[in-house]
Structure formats: structure tokens, C-alpha cells
Amino acid sequence: MSSTEAPATHLAENPFAIAQRQLAHVGETFGIDPNLVGVLAECKKCVEVSVPVVMDDQSVEVFEAYRVTHNMTRGPAKGGIRYHPAVTRDEVKALAMWMTWKCALMGLPFGGAKGGVVCNPKELSPGELERLTRRYTTEIINEIGPEKDIPAPDVGTDSQVMAWIFDTYSMNVGHSVLGVVTGKPLSVGGSLGRDEATARGALYSIRTALQKQGARLPDNRIAIQGFGNVGRNLARLLSEEGARIVAVSDSRGGVANPYGIDVQAAIAYKQEHGVLEGLPGADAITNAELIELDCDVLAPCALEQVITAQNAARIRARMICEGANGPTTPGADEILEDRGVLVLPDVLANAGGVVVSYFEWVQGLQEYFWKEYEVNAKLNDITVRAFEETWQTRERFGTSMRVAAYGLAVQRVAEATTIRGLYP
């Protein structure tokens, strides 16, 4: 698990209001029944719980936590759990809605959900983290399940946290339930390829986009914000493909080198020192400078709202790959679209994680596990298909990639809702 320190105010705009505005815009562009848009603009269920935890010094701390289900029309809800000191209910609701669109765009039989615990996992001991996770799981145990709502890792959580969720749920029902959570360690039913799946999906999206422009990865300079599961793996995979990584960063700041950063050395340095700052052979830069750096592809892989109407005009990248969820505000989107910057939206660019989570769920239900090359090949098929569908929709409707991707997704959910009918 990597650093999650961030300013308490990383959300300048209400993310759920942004998600609702995006939906309204898509509804108008694609002529979707306003009644359906009204249904989809709200979350099906938002559970708020308090999580009391005995700390190592025997004091008791009570943490605020959420599990939100946005929609379950196309199947069980799916979405990560975030441990972060600045998580808010509306942030979790927005992330849950974006999960619905992501699963629909990728053609997965899932709806959308998300969870959050307001805590700083970096300040908790392993014992405190385990007790918090087990109590949180118990508090939401009636909400989750392999046919209901299946959590996964997100910012501040990792495969160890998923293992505790799996164990807590299984102990309560009296037998092992592999399908209750994804992103598990391999030793307890995880999938090969899941750890790097989000980054691998982003790699496939960038590669397909470059092919459309007649370009190749080795000719591209890439700046990556965030050096956790998504950012670190993306930097490694891209550099293995010959791309030049010109900047990387974590919550403390970044490092840059126009001639290229040795990514393996950066990973080792971060592991040893806990920060990227001070990496030999690279200059220090701030996260704000990284966003505006001279590069070909910019990949925000940390938190929301880092590309805004304030800095969008100064971005020099020709392409943005949203490894993070919601890194670009609607104001920034308009500026980038006008300037011809190609934005590969979150629901497409970081969907590799949920696609391989789907594979993990399927393998767990069947208790039959696939080889890594099978996982990666199937991920590539699904990502490239979704990319092509989005690209064609963008050309047909003359929209941005985001509006095209959300449009396809919302239409699929709307169609399923219409066919099922509104109960009762």
C-alpha cells in the first residue's frame, strides 16, 4: 500500500454533482428518456456506518465509513474500497456511479458500487488496520456478497485488506466464499495478472489510441502522477514497451528527467525511502508542475480533480490517459476538447482493474484458475473492443471520448432498466 497523504481539500468541486452533470449532458446528447436519467442520477443505496476500533494504546477510535450501491440492473454491484483521510460520502457516491458506467462500457455483468473509510492507513499499525477492516466488513456484511456487491482494492487498500474482508465474510457464513471480494492474494483465490491489471488496461488504451494516430509507444514521452498500484505499474509496463517516462510523482512530490527515468530504480528507491524525492539522476518537481510538463502523454493516476479549468490551458501533453477516477473536471474537459487534446476517460482507461476483477470472480465461482497469458489476452480483447466502440461513437456523434464512453454505457444501463421494467 502506498502513501495516501493528500490535502484535506483535494476536492474543490462536489464530485457527485460533477457525475450528475456529466450524466445530464450525456442524456441530452444521446436522447435518453429523462425519466430514466432521473432514476440513474441517484444512488440505489448509501449505507453509512461507524467503525469503532481498539487502538494499540487501548484507546477506542471511531471511524466514519460508507458503502454505496449506485445501480444493480445489469448484475451485482462492483467497486473498490478507499481508505483515505479526506473521503466524503459524495465522493463515494460519484465513484459508485462511475463504476456503473465503467462496467457497462466494458460489457461486464455488473452494476456499480464503492466504499470508503475516513482514515489514514499510513498512520495505522497492521493490527489496527486489520481490526478496522474486519469491523467495517461486519458492519456492511448484509450489503456485500458474491451475488450482491463485490468490493475490490482502491486508494489506500491492497490485497492484504481484501484477504481480511474475504476471511471475515467467510467466518461469518461458515465457509470460504471466494467470490465475495476481488483483488485477493493468489494464495486465497486471487487471479494472476490482477495486481497490474489496471495499469495493463491503461497501457492497451494508450497503445490503441497511438495506433489510431499512426504513432508508436517508443516515440512518446510520458509523465505519470501517482506511484501506487496504478501509476507505478503503468510506469513499469510503459518503459518495458520502450516509452520514455519523463516524470513520476507521489503525494510528496515528483521527479523528472527529459531523457527518461529509470523506472526500476525509481521503484527500488521508493521502496527503500518511502518517497521519490531525491531519486538520483532526476530533478525534483511539484505535482502541479508535473501536470504542465512538456510531454506527449500525461497519465494522472492518483486522485480526482487535478486537471481543472485553472491549469487545462497550460497542459502540453497531446493525450491524457485517466488512470485515476475523475482526475479531470468538466471545466477542464471543455478546454482540452477545444485545444484538441485527446482524453482517454477513466471509465475506459482504468477499467482493466474491474475487468480482471470480473475474471477473478468468475474463476472463484468456478474454482478453476487461468494462466496469466489467458488473463492478459482476454483483457486486451475487452479493452480494445471497448476502445473501438467508443472511438466509433465519438466519430458518429462528434463528441469527446468521455461523452462517447459515458453515452454507450448509460444507453446500455437504460436499455436494461427498460427491459426489466421499473418494479413494481
Q: How far apart are CA 289 and CA 329, in angstroms?
A: 18
- Shorter beta-carbon distance to ligand NAD: residue 209 or 230: 230
Contact between 329 and ligand NAD per CB under 6 A: no
Considering Cα of 154, then 155, then 159, then 163, what sign does the dihedral take? negative
Binding string, residues 239-278; x marks residues near ligand NAD by CB under 6 A: ----------xxx---------------------------
Question: To which residue does cell 471545466 refer?
Answer: 331
CB of 389 to ligand NAD, least distance (A): 20
Q: How far apart are CA 92 and CA 337, in angstroms?
A: 27
Q: How far apart are CA 375 and CA 191, in angstroms?
A: 8
Q: In this structure, what DSSP letter does residue 23 have?
A: H
CB of 54 to ligand NAD, least distance (A): 25
Question: To which residue does cell 493528500 refer?
Answer: 6
**330 burial class (0-12, 13-18, 19+ CB within 10 angstroms)?**
middle
Contact between 155 and ligand NAD per CB under 6 A: yes
CB of 198 to ligand NAD, least distance (A): 4
- Sequence letter at residue 221: R
Contact between 191 and ligand NAD per CB under 6 A: no
- Shorter beta-carbon distance to ligand NAD: residue 3 or 417: 3
Contact between 10 and ligand NAD per CB under 6 A: yes
The answer to whether the beta carbons of residues 292 and 315 sit under 8 Å apart is: yes
Q: How far apart are CA 12 and CA 19, in angstroms?
A: 14
Q: Which grid cell sits at 120?
A: 489514514
The answer to whether the beta carbons of residues 155 and 3 sit under 8 Å apart is: no
- Shorter beta-carbon distance to ligand NAD: residue 27 or 76: 76
Contact between 94 and ligand NAD per CB under 6 A: no
Contact between 154 and ligand NAD per CB under 6 A: yes
Asked if 148 is an active-site residue, the reply is no
Q: Which grid cell sits at 246?
A: 519523463
Binding string, residues 285-304; x marks residues near ligand NAD by CB under 6 A: --x-------------xxx-
> Whose CB is nearest to ligand NAD?
228
Secondary structure, 3-state, 182-251: CCCCHHHCCCCCCCCHHHHHHHHHHHHHHHHCCCCHHHCEEEEECCCHHHHHHHHHHHHCCCEEEEEEEC
Q: What are residue 51's DSSP bridge partners? A: 63
Catalytic residue, from 44, 78, 93, 114: name it. Answer: 114
Interface pick for ligand NAD out of 136, 166, 227, 269 (rule CB under 6 A): 227
Report helix, strand or coil for 52. strand
| Total binding residues toward ligand NAD, as defined by CB under 6 A | 29
CB of 10 to ligand NAD, least distance (A): 6
Q: Which range, of 133-141, 165-173, 319-327, 374-382, touches ligand NAD by CB under 6 A?
A: 319-327
Q: Which range, of 51-59, 150-158, 258-266, 308-316, touches ligand NAD by CB under 6 A?
A: 150-158
Q: Which range, of 2-10, 56-64, 334-342, 366-374, touches ligand NAD by CB under 6 A?
A: 2-10
Contact set with ligand NAD (CB under 6 A): 2-4, 6, 10, 153-156, 198, 225-231, 249-251, 287, 301-303, 323-325, 350, 353
Which residues carry out catalysis? 114
